[in-house]
Each structure stands twice: as C-alpha cells, then as structure tokens.
C-alpha cells in the first residue's frame, strides 16, 4: 500500500535538500536564516509522522513552528539570485520543443485524475493500493514525481540539481506565505479548544429576534459568512452556527427543509472564504506563487462575486427551504 506519510517524507526531504542549497548560496544576503527556516519545515514534515500517531511529543514541534514564525516574521529570510535561463533562451526552448513542453505539465493533472477515479478501487492482496482517504493527495504527489521523470527524459536534463534549484527559487520567492496556511490551521484549533466558537454562537443567538423567519435566515447566512472570515474556514464555522441558529431555529422552529438549509448555509460560508486572508492557502499563497506585489490581489478580485453570491444564498434559502 502506498501511504500518504511517504509523500510527506518526500516533501520534507526535498525541503531539507533545498535548505542545504540555501545555506551555501552566497548570493542570498540572509542565507542562514533562509536555510534554517526551510530546514525546520522539512524536518517538521518528517517528525510530524510520529506526532500524528502520538509516538512523539508535539510540543518540540510547536516550539520549532514558533521559531520558524520568528525567523520569517522578523525578516531573517531572503532570496538568492535565481540561476535560471534568459528570456531569449526560454523563447528558443519554446520554439525548439513546442507543445511537447505541455506533456510533463499535463501529466500532473492526468495522474491525479487516474488516481482519484481509477486507482482508488485497485487493491493488492486485500489491501488498497493507495491509502484510503488520501487518494487525491497521493495523486498529486505521484503526478509530480512521474511528471519530473518524464520532463527530465524529454529535456535530456541529467543533473537532478537543476529541478531542485528551480523549485528552490520558487520557494524562496514565496517565503513565509508557504507556512501561513498551516499556522492558521493551528490557530483554528486553538480557537476551538479555547471556546471562541461557543462565544460567537452565543452572540448570534443574542442578536436573533424571535419569530422572524427572514431575519433568522439572514443571521444564519451572514453569521456563516462572518465567522468563516474570522476562522478562515467554513468547516469551523458550520457546527457553531448550525447549533446556534441553523438547526434549532430554522429547521426546528420554522420547519425548514434540513438539506436545503444546511447545504446553502455552508455555501454562504464559502463566500466568506473568498474574502479572508485567514484562508491563506486559497488567497495568499496564490498571490505569492504568481509573484503579485499586492498580496490581497486575489481577494480584491473575488470580493464583488462573494457579496453577490452571499445575497443569492439568502434568497435561495428563503425560496427553497421553506
């Protein structure tokens, strides 16, 4: 069976190799901080395997995470001059190789698709080939590895250091944004155990007047939207808002259709995901990956759509659920 943890080790290992390159890159004025940051992430990826199975304490990893945050937060990380090709060389490469260049790039989605659809059901000797529940992650990982092999052969590139260098300079360009989604997931968990959710639920019930169906619908949808903005994740908002308003008031008191109320309520939360920097993996990481100067660029592009769709969800709930 191919396990998800193997791919976490591969990711961790490639971060470690890239960190070693960063330490020796004299073109980077902050090479030690940069190397330490990515080295810690890489080591953390591997150590996490034992944290997940409770065989190792989580506190040292937590300490390492805070060190990473301090390294990146106080500007101890930087980037070197990427060793890459000139625009002329790229244009020549495109002219020479043509659309063959798309083959490895499209291999990633193609393998991901095969894993999600086909290999999901394949098993050897009673054990599934891909770890259950991790098929999509494994598909992406396998796709990347297969694509790299195809790319190296096709481009007749014999030095493995070349793709590692290329990946490394993209990592350096993204910097702290890479770690933010994982930090935010942690914050969500801390909010949960500290009772932030129950407090927000109480607030929502407090502003809710009795016996007004339309106000209750708006409170549920807008509550999902705002709570998602705070938590960065509709999944964290859903249980709280549903326990406070969705189920007791909309389904219980007003006798709404539960499937419609809950499905549309969740989508109102998704409108919040579109506009919050707390959903860093969707909003901040792409900005870094696309080398935008304005890290809120994607959020600004999504804001009007999110507003209109929130309104749509309120209307749909009122129309279809009651």
Partner 1 sequence: MIVLLGVLVVVIGFATKRNPLLVVGVAGIVTGFLGGLSPGKILAAFGEGFANSRAVTIFAITLPVIGLLERYGLQEQARNLIARFAGLTTGRFLTLYLGLRQLGAAVGLNNVFGPAQTVRPLAVPMAEGAAERKHGPLPERTREKLRSFAASADNVGLFFGEDVFLAVGSILLITGFVNTSYGTHLEPLHLALWAIPTAVCAFVVHGWRLLRLDRQLERDLLTAHAGTPVVEATQ
Task: For partner 1, give the closer residue by CB, 29 or 160.
Answer: 160
From 2, 6, 11, 318, residue interacting with partner 1 (rule: CB under 8 A): 11
Q: Which is nearer to partner 1, 125 or 193 (CB)?
A: 193
Contact set for partner 1, span 160-179 (CB under 8 A): 162-167, 169-171, 176, 178-179
Q: How far is the CB of 216 from partner 1 (least distance, A)?
A: 17
At closest approach, how far in Å is the CB of 89 from partner 1? Answer: 8
Quote the tokens at residue 298.
């994607």
Indicate the burial class of 295 (C-beta count within 10 angstroms; 0-12, 13-18, 19 or more): middle
Site residues (CB under 8 A) for partner 1, limited to 126-155: 136-137, 139-141, 143-145, 147-148, 151-152, 155
Q: How far apart are CA 39 and CA 249, in angstroms?
A: 51
Q: Is the dihedral of CA 121, 123, 129, 131 positive or negative?
A: positive
The rounded distance, in Å, linking the Cα atoms of 133 and 116 is 10
274 to 293: interface string for partner 1, x by CB under 8 A? x--xx-xxxxxxxx-xxxxx
Distance, in Å, from the CA atom of 136 to the CA atom of 124, rounded to the nearest integer, reads 19
Distances (CA, A) of 279 to 254, 286, 298: 33, 11, 12
d(CA 61, CA 47) in angstroms, rounded, equals 8
Among residue numbers 195 through 254, which ones bind partner 1 (CB under 8 A)? 195-196, 199-200, 230, 234-235, 238-239, 242-243, 247
Q: Are 139 and 113 in contact (CB under 8 A)?
A: yes
2 part of the interface to partner 1, by CB under 8 A:
no
Please state the closest distance from residue 135 (CB atom) to partner 1, in A. 9
Site for partner 1 in 252-271 (CB under 8 A): 258-260, 262-264, 266-267, 270
Separation of alpha carbons 309 and 303, rounded Å = 10
# residues contacting partner 1 (CB under 8 A): 144
Smallest distance, partner 1 to C-beta of residue 125, A: 25
Site residues (CB under 8 A) for partner 1, limited to 23-62: 41, 44-45, 47-49, 51-52, 57-62
CA neighbours closer than 13 Å in the CB half-sphere of residue 181: 13
Buried b or exposed e, range 202-228, using 16+ CB within 10 angstroms: eebeeebeeeebeebbbbbbbbbbbbb
Which of the residues 55 through 114 are near partner 1 (CB under 8 A)? 57-66, 68-70, 72-74, 84-85, 89-95, 97-99, 101-102, 104-105, 108-109, 112-113
């Amino acid at each position: 069976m191919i396990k998800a943890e193997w791919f976490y080790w591969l990711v961790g290992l490639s971060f470690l190799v890239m960190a070693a390159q960063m330490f020796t890159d004299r073109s980077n004025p902050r090479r030690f901080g940069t190397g330490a940051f990515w080295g810690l992430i890489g080591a953390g990826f591997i150590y996490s395997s034992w944290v997940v199975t409770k065989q190792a304490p989580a506190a040292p990893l937590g300490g390492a995470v805070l060190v990473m945050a301090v390294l990146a937060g106080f500007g101890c990380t930087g980037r070197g001059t990427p060793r890459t090709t000139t625009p002329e060389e790229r244009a020549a490469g495109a002219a020479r190789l043509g659309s063959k260049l798309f083959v490895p790039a499209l291999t990633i989605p193609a393998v991901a698709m095969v894993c999600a659809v086909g290999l999901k059901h394949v098993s050897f000797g009673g054990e599934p080939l891909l770890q259950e529940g991790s098929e999509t992650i494994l598909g992406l990982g396998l796709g990347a590895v297969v694509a790299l092999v195809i790319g190296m052969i096709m481009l007749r590139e014999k030095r493995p250091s070349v793709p590692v260098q290329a990946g490394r300079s993209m990592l350096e360009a993204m910097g702290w944004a890479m770690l933010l989604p994982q930090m935010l997931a942690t914050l969500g968990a801390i909010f949960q155990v500290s009772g932030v959710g129950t407090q927000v639920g109480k607030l929502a019930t407090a502003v809710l007047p009795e016996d007004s169906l339309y106000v209750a619908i708006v409170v549920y949808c807008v509550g999902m939207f705002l709570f998602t903005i705070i938590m960065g994740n509709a999944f964290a908002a859903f249980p709280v808002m549903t326990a406070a308003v969705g189920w007791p008031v909309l389904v219980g008191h007003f006798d709404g259709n539960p499937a419609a109320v809950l499905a549309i309520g969740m989508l109102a939360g998704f409108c919040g995901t579109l506009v919050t920097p707390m959903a860093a993996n969707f909003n901040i990481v792409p900005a870094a990956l696309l080398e935008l100067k304005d890290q809120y660029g994607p959020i600004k592009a999504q804001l009007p759509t999110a507003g209109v769709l929130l309104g749509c969800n309120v209307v749909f709930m009122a129309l279809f659920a009651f």
